[in-house]
Chain A
Amino acid sequence: MKWYIAKRILWTFVAVWIALTFTFALVTASPNQGEMQAMMSCATSGDDPAECREQYRERQGLDTPVTERYVNYMVNMATLNWGWSDSRSQAVIPAILDAWKFTAQYAIPVLILSTLIGYGIGLYSAYKPYTVTDYAGSFVAFFGISIPNFWFAIVLIMLFGVNINALPVYYQSGIPLEYGWISVKNFLQLVLPITVLLTASLAWQMRYSRAQALEQMNQEFVKVAKAKGASQYRLMIHHVLRMAAVPLSTSFVGSLLAIFWSGSVIIEQIFAIPGLGYMTYTAIVEQDTALILATTLLTVFLAILGNLLEDIAYVVLDPRIDYGNR
């Protein structure tokens, strides 16, 4: 097992290297907007575009061999010199370090809550399928899947922010600095974003866990446990969930990234949260190449790391899986 993990970590580095190399190749092969602008600018002011192109390439270090640029690029990436973000007037790494906290403060609770509540309802629905409670759970799930995040967010803001005036309409980034990240005031301004995001992700978790649990409910070992008089709690948690959790765990990283890409961008725009989603969206809209590159690579890193953790989780959850010989 240890050898497997060591190999996987080693492979993680290889995968990251491949991703970085692929990105470098894409950027190198793409038409350089700055270069084209420089040429255009020179052409229109009566200068020689070819000369301007050379000057531009020299200034940007593009006149060096591609291998040298590749080495410089890899060194910069390894030393976290990821460039300058024009859309934020900030270096890329500080930009990410500033933004991730604002996303994590609601994304982590959403992930935990959606897993606990979603699996809980899913297991319960599986235990009592086709009953009123199952239908109620299904209704919640389909409501969450069907309702557009942006619309739900606006409705909640109107209801709780404007009409009842019980919760803040938008996120004030000064509150965590003044009152702390874990404070009632900060919690209050996160209630609506968490609710919106939770509705969508919980539904997905619930339907998936219900399906997995239902599959296990017909297994022999469940019947044996039932025959031996196992309580409902013991049956579902110790027997069904443990087996259902193996396939479920494979979706963990996927859910995290799905929350980020499908939810965060919209939630952060609507609630004015200066997190990774809003940052990425702005970077794309404003063609902030350095920041787009960084957020893309961040996603790749998360996926690679997540897959490693998932594979390790397999073994913990199901001792029959053995990586000893791999």
Chain B
Amino acid sequence: MPSGNKRRKQQSDGDGGEGGLDRRRVMQYMAATGVAASLAGCNSGGGDTTTSGTTTSGTTVSQDEIPSGGTFIYGTTGNTNGLNVFRVGDGETSARAEMVMDLGYVRESPAYSDFLPLWFEDMTVEQPVNQIDIKLRENLQFGEGHGELTADDYLWCIDNIWTADWANFTYASEFTVGSNEEPIQFEKVDKYTIRETIPNSRPFFPYNEPLSYMFPIPKAIAQSYVEDQNAEGLAQDNAIMRATFNGNLGPWDLKRWSQQSVMEFERGEDYYLREAAANDDRVPEIFTEAPYFDEYHFQYFDKAQTARQALQAGEIDATFIPSTQVGSYEGNDSDNLQLYQNPYRSWSGYLGINHRANGWSQLRNKKVRHAMAHIYNNDFVVENIAEGRAATQNTLHPSWGPYAPDDPVTFDGSIDKAKELLKEGTSSDYGYSGDTFVGPDGNQVELTVVYQSGETDDLRAAYLKQRLSQVGIALNQETTSWTSLLSNYFAPGQKASGFSGTIGYGEDNTSGGPYNPGPWDEVVSGNSWDFMLTLGFGYGPLTPAGTIASLFGEKGNFNAYGYTPDENLAAMRDEAQTAESREAAQSTIQEMLLYLSEERPVIFEYNPYNYYAYRNQVQNIGESPPDSYWKMLQDRSSTRMFFSNGSSGR
């Protein structure tokens, strides 16, 4: 279950879905700081809508002068679970699948019509926003004799695979909208056009419509599995795992896959976008010969340090650089490397708080959480642990996001204020004995932080321990694996001590999902904890309402923390998502974000930047940092537009 922090839907920048998140999407949203080394940076280099390549030195290279050939090797610490488009559910699998099959489009601004058209030649959004017509290009071909990709292929997959119960498809819930999970209606308009209709106008629907990030599977391959309702067989089919049917649908074809070692792709000889670039003004001319490398390799490393050493030795061309390591690469010309910084990472790191019955009861008091916000000072973390390579957050939204509140609640890190808040916020049987904060039993209060050991999180935990000791509280540090963190600590699965009824919300005992089966006093995680690091959350900065309600709404799918807000965040989400326009939703979304900032259900911390190092020989990785979030999203296409200046020797 370990997962990168990005998702296939990145281009459409969805939030928690119009109706919130379901359990299958946990892999998309949850992410560990320790495994943040996704392929995104590899996909977030250069690429713009000009008609020529721009080298990293800023020199413009005309189409004719772009060198081609050689092999580009990207070092990654991700997993190697194939190109399984049926079981695609995490960012890493998506990134690999996107090597051999494109997306529908790449969004270039919040305007509905502003996108780089890939498979989708056009996408028309009706006003009010309850109907979208998608028109496919006419030269999209499956391989292995499976014929042309048309509207029929999409509709067959929707009915038979993507929404079928037996398939348990990762993104099945995204074919519905609203908290009542009303299904989106799909119909064929003509051979290449599909119409999507929803019951009511939803201004964020175009960002969340599902077809732009689906990979249709040819009927001939899936038919027998569909008839047998054999999801396991379909997932293990060789053609699916290796996407051998990709035809001309993507820039690369899979050449060799050595498990836990390397995935080698070779240049697709008949990539559809070359022809489109020649005839469609919206597609940059640079695509007419893309990709420019003969081969593209994902080389897997268990140890990120080995990948970085391989990069320094010139054996690979690019890899992820943790923010704590960036200093050794900055201004170091001897390594022959260039750094790419992406400050627009849609992911929040924070100090999680266990509000459930197996956490410290006093943390359910807002004043105590405010004390913790002073103690665990996010500005200090950004400056001294992330070394300035992150942006401070005081709510679940990045400071560069369109809904960032102007005046979020902040805490200055005062230990004196923290002590005062602790005294005020805790029950009367807590208090100070000298410098020690003692509980009802007269002993020092001891709390526990759990996390996956890693460079940054070890430092964050050490900082928390040091600061808590300054207010007289002891801290136990528990480290565990990512899987264990989710299953044994985050996910509540046991009845709370003293509770003997049926778990669930309300009289009918409804559940918020596996990560929130019931209220804080009814169900708890297997292992007790008070604070949690490592686990952060990805979000869609354009549409944060769904994510907020899912994570902190009382019955939210991912409210494993057991937080019980006074406000009805789910109702506020519905209000925002059914507003007349995105502008009309702004005040509600900002109200939600300000509420979180004041409530501090978790101690909001930062959104760390992503860094990638490239060999100097790699050209066209783009301006670092990109000048906007949209520029970063456009850069999804950059891998096929990288080229070498010819001196890499590969």
Contacts and interface: CB of A to CB of B under 8 A. Distances in A.
B236 interface: yes
A45 B309 CA distance: 48
Interface residues of A, number: 43
B511 A44 contact: yes
A170 B256 contact: no
Contact of B258 (A173, A268, A282, A287): A173
Contact of A157 (B256, B302, B306): B306
B24 to A, nearest CB: 10
B510 interface: yes
A165 B300 CA distance: 21
A272 B259 CA distance: 11
Interface string B224-250: 000000000000100001000000000
Contacts of B23: 41, 44
A165 B260 contact: no
A306 interface: no
Contacts of A279: 260
Contacts of A89: 80-82, 84, 236, 241, 259
B310 to A, nearest CB: 4
A286 B481 CA distance: 9
Contact of A170 (B2, B314, B315): B315
Interface in B251-305: 256, 258-262, 264, 299-303, 305
A113 interface: no
B494 to A, nearest CB: 11
A278 interface: yes
Interface in B490-519: 493, 503, 510-514, 517
B76 to A, nearest CB: 11
A84 interface: yes
Q: Is the interface of A mostly helix, strand, loop or mixed?
A: helix
B156 to A, nearest CB: 25
Given A89-B241, A286-B483, A287-B483, A154 B305 contact: yes
Nearest to A90: B259
B303 A270 contact: yes
A170 B306 contact: yes
Contact of A274 (B260, B481, B514): B260
Contact of B309 (A157, A269, A285): A157
Contacts of B80: 88-89
A269 B306 CA distance: 9
Contacts of A124: none
B390 to A, nearest CB: 27
Given A89-B84, A89-B241, A287-B483, 11 more contacts: A44-B512, A89-B82, A161-B309, A162-B309, A162-B312, A165-B313, A168-B313, A170-B299, A272-B299, A272-B303, A285-B481
What 9 A-B pairs come out closest when comparing CB atoms? Answer: A274-B261, A44-B511, A173-B261, A269-B302, A169-B310, A274-B260, A173-B258, A88-B259, A89-B82
Interface of A: 37, 40-41, 43-46, 84, 86-90, 95, 98-99, 154, 157-158, 161-162, 165, 168-174, 177, 268-272, 274, 278-279, 281-282, 285-287
8 contacts: A89-B82, A170-B315, A172-B262, A174-B256, A269-B303, A270-B306, A282-B260, A286-B2
Interface of B: 2, 23, 79-82, 84, 236, 241, 256, 258-262, 264, 299-303, 305-307, 309-310, 312-315, 481, 483, 493, 503, 510-514, 517
